[in-house]
Structure 1
Amino acid sequence: MKQEEITQLSLSDLKDRLDATTEKIGKITLTHKVSPLENPMQIKSLRKTIARLNTELTKRNKQA
């Protein structure tokens, strides 16, 4: 998910996406520990997305 897309989301959508992405990375990480993933770069990309979402939430909380 790109930063431009994240800035256009509402606050509730940001929180929902953060929860969903956190849950997804947990499942993918567990799957990767059991058997290697075809594309392990998914983990890196999801971690970056979570960081972007957290950054946007922090930015909006400071503005409010």
Structure 2
Amino acid sequence: MKDSFKDLTYQELVEKREELRKKYLDLRVNKVIGHMENRLEIRTVRRRLASLNGIIHEYALGIRKES
């Protein structure tokens, strides 16, 4: 679960967030339909998305700067 989001640039982080949002939506739809193989994947993607949002928010607050 530990991904190195800290090594990515701001633009890469935003792109990764959009990718994870789409994946999370697909997982939620598949859960409703009943075609889920791994139900824990929803939790994992949601947590990775939250971590990514935290890092992006640090850029917005000025805590983290682009190098």
Show structure 2 runs of 5+ residues with no match: none
- With normalisation by structure 1, the TM-score equals 0.89
State the percentage of identical aligned residues. Answer: 19
- With normalisation by structure 2, the TM-score equals 0.85
- Would you tell me which structure has more helix in proportion to its own residues? 1
Q: CA deviation at 1:32?
A: 1.1
How many residues are treated as equivalent by the alignment? Answer: 63
Where relative contact order (Cα < 8 A, 6+ residues apart) is larger, the structure is: 1
1:13 corresponds in structure 2 to: 12
Structure 2 CA distance for aligned equivalents of residues 45 and 62 of structure 1: 26
User: Runs of at least 4 residues of structure 1 off by over 6 A?
Assistant: none
Show structure 1 runs of 5+ residues with no match: none
